[in-house]
Amino acid sequence: MDSVQKPGQIVFTNKARCRDCYRCVRVCPVKAICMRDGQAYVNEDRCIACGTCIRECPQHAKSYRNDVEHAIRLIRGGGRVAASVAPSFASIYSDWERKALPSALRKLGFSHVAETAVGAYYVAKRTAEVVAAQPGRSHICSACPAVVNYIERYQRDKLDALVPVVSPMLAHARHIKDRLGAETEVIFIGPCVAKKSEAQRPEHKGLVSCVLTFEELAEWLERERIDLAACEESRFDEEPKGHARFFPVEGGTLRTASMTTDLLATEIMCVSGPEEVREALGIIGHDDRPTVIEPLFCRAGCINGPAVPGERNVFSRRTDVLAYATEEVGADDTGDEVPRLATQFRSNPVDDETGVTEERIRAALRTTGKVKAEDELNCGACGYGSCRDKAIAVIKGLAEPEMCIPYMRRLAEQRTDRIIETSPNGIVILDERLDILSMNPTFKRFFQCTEAVCGQKVSYLMDPEPFEQLASGGKDLVEIVARHEKYALICHEILYALREEHQYVGIFVNITKSQASQQELEQLRAETIMQAQELNEHQISMAQKIATFLGEYTAQGEKLAENLMRLAGDSEKKPEGKGPRWPWDTPTSR
């Protein structure tokens, strides 16, 4: 896996899957996604581990740290290991699967299996006590770790409103250790990624040894080849009191705490999803009326956590949780010892404004062509709510100028226009009536015209017949070589139709010189062939004459040879001493 992840980082990017669509930037409630060289990264210093990007990424390029191996090591360590199962499990498993789950967990090696709702009961009751003790102020329930992270980093002025009570996961872990011994390892299993960051906070060290999501649990069961269908029905070792199983849905904390859950109550506000949480927190300090806010960072609550497997409708999950909670109402509090629930929250600011000045913002806006206020489209395509927000992100190193889609499109159009304007080929565009809409400088030079011909029929310049073929609908492409005698021009013409735009495009490649060169070459070739033929005929004629001369010379040579041989023969027949041997051998010569 080609991933961008630091040691211990919770949420990270799988580079191989990322397609730079900016969806993660768009949906991240705290803009913890930064872009470098066109690649999306999760900025760990800004991330609140809410998992929104994991849920929303269409390419599944955002992921979270997998802790299955760590859980296996804890089991194999030989000590006592307890499982704390989040109450949202009822939204994932069917009725028979819920009954088989405790047995499956025991097969994995857990010695104690219980519902996290056991701790949720104590958290809700303690929250109600805090609210009752301070009736003149607003309170923010602190069960959701993503909300706590968000307030600590981005809404620090709301820290005092957070109810100083641990989450159900931590409360249950303390409860388990109180009952089974401090050496007991606790593994939490739920739908939440932020729980992984909550478990590793220094003040909670040693409470929860490992956090698994329901997706990781499914992976682990598959690795061990444990099938729920093959597991017997059994119950959890400990089950919650009261209405604690309502905890994972909106209003669950208040219902468990026996506080009003009336949607019309002015002093109560149950919100879910980043936008609602942000809006609800905004009233604290700006409204004198005390309000109890129960915020859940995932829309519809924990039943829609980023690590919930499957594609079931969120309202179907809600119905299942409500049915399970109603069917399995726990007994009232029997006065058991309550675990330690107190906690503290700390300011963990993100330095957002270092180096951000109005001058630098204007300079960043100018890099994408936004000089005037009307140039700022605020389209949100880059993932930021406004052009100004995106310019600030560029200054902080979180964004890149190239993320501005309208700007990049404008650059592309300018480059396209530049290519057309400087093309060595003539280009003309006609409308559906074959009137000239536009042309480039090369076309004007080829056909000796100016912009004045725009609006005229193309027949004003040339034979329109090829364009008429396109207009008739019979063809979408015409490719010809045409001679334009009027302009002393020969062109290779490529004409095509833009059906959706109701336009026709003509590209004219000047091949006049190459045609002339071709004619010269053909003429030279013809002359060469003629000369070769003449030379061949001359050579044949010479050969014939030479052959005739050789024949005559050969005949004369043969005749001479015969005469010489005859003379030689006559000389040999004459007796020695009688008469001359050679013609010149005469008595006179003697």
Chain segment 178-235, per-residue pLDDT in tens: 999 999 999 999 999 999 999 999 999 999 999 999 999 999 999 999 999 999 999 9
The answer to whether residues 80 and 180 touch, using CB atoms and an 8 Å cutoff, is: yes
Residue 32 has pLDDT above 90, yes or no: yes
Q: Which residues contact 318 (CB under 8 A, 6 or more apart)?
A: 91, 249, 300, 301, 303
DSSP structure class, residue 328:
T
- Let me know the angle formed at the C-alpha of 574 by 570 and 580, rounded to the nearest 5 degrees: 95
Q: What is the pLDDT of residue 2?
A: 47
Evaluate whether 436 touches 450 at the Cβ level (below 8 Å): no
> pLDDT over 90 for what percent of the chain?
67
pLDDT at 143 over 60: yes
Inter-residue contact 510 to 496 (CB < 8 Å): no
- Residue ranges of the domains in the chain? 1-65, 80-327, 352-422, 423-510
The per-residue pLDDT for 528 is 64
- pLDDT average, residue stretch 276-290: 87
How many CB atoms lie under 10 A from the CB of residue 445? 12
- Count Cα neighbours of 405 within 13 Å in the Cβ-side half-sphere: 12
Q: Is the pLDDT of residue 584 over 50?
A: no
Q: Give tens-digit pLDDT for 447-483.
A: 999 999 999 999 999 999 999 999 998 899 999 999 9
CB 26 within 8 A of CB 17: no
pLDDT at 4: 57
Classify residue 250 by its DSSP letter.
T
Q: Are strands 33-36 and 39-42 parallel, antiparallel or unpaired?
A: antiparallel
Task: Name 190's bridge partners.
Answer: 213
Give 93: exposed, middle or buried? Use CB within 10 Å, 0-12, 13-18, 19+: middle
Helix, strand or coil for residue 473?
Answer: coil
Whether 523 shows a pLDDT value over 90: the answer reads no
Starting at the earlier edge strand, list the strands of the sheet with 3-4: 3-4, 11-14, 62-64
* Partner residues linked to 430 by β-bridges: 436, 504
Q: Is the pLDDT reported for residue 431 higher than 80?
A: yes
Residues 149-189: pLDDT tens digits?
Answer: 999 999 999 999 999 999 999 999 999 999 999 999 999 99
pLDDT at 270 over 60: yes
Nearest to 82 by CA among 118, 115, 112, 116: 112
The DSSP line for 4-55 is E--TT-SEEEETTT-----HHHHH-TT--EEEETTEEEE-TTT-----HHHH
pLDDT mean across residues, the chain: 88
Give per-residue pLDDT as tens, 351-406: 766 778 999 999 999 999 898 888 899 999 999 999 999 999 999 989 999 999 89
Give which of 63, 81, 84 is closest to 72, Cα–Cα: 81
Gap between the Cα atoms of 98 and 117, Å rounded = 15
CATH number of this structure's domain 80-327, picked from the four choices 3.40.50, 1.10.3470, 3.30.1050, 3.30.70: 3.40.50
User: What span, in angstroms and rounded, lies between the C-alpha atoms of 43 and 32?
Assistant: 5
Measured torsion, CA atoms of residues 330, 331, 335, 336, in degrees rounded to the nearest 10: -50
Q: Which CATH number is 423-510 given?
A: 3.30.450.20
pLDDT of 535 over the 90 cut = no
Whole-angstrom distance, CA of residue 297 vs CA of residue 154 = 14
Q: 527 pLDDT band (50/70/90 cuts)?
A: low
> What is the rounded CA–CA span in Å between residue 37 and residue 26?
18
Core vs surface per residue 253-269: b (16+ CB within 10 A) or e = bbbbbebebeeeeeebb
Q: Give the mean pLDDT of 103-124.
A: 96
- Which structure tokens are listed for 387? 């052009």
* pLDDT on residue 507: 96
As assigned by CATH, the class of the 1-65 domain is alpha beta
Q: Where are the alpha helices (DSSP H) in 32-167?
A: 52-56, 68-76, 95-108, 117-133, 145-154
Q: What's the pLDDT tens digit per position in 296-335? A: 999 999 999 999 998 889 999 999 999 999 987 766 665 6
First-last CA distance in the chain: 128
**pLDDT at residue 1 greater than cutoff 50:** no
Q: For strand 489-498 and strand 112-115, is the pairing parallel, antiparallel, or unpaired?
A: unpaired
Q: How far is the CA of 586 from the CAs of 563, 572, 575, 578, in angstroms? A: 21, 16, 14, 11
Confidence (pLDDT) at 260: 72
The pair of structure tokens assigned to 31 is 């803009």
Q: Are 40 and 18 in contact (CB under 8 A)?
A: yes
Residue 351 three-state SS: coil
The Cα 463–Cα 485 span in angstroms is 11
Residues of the chain with pLDDT > 70: what percent? 90
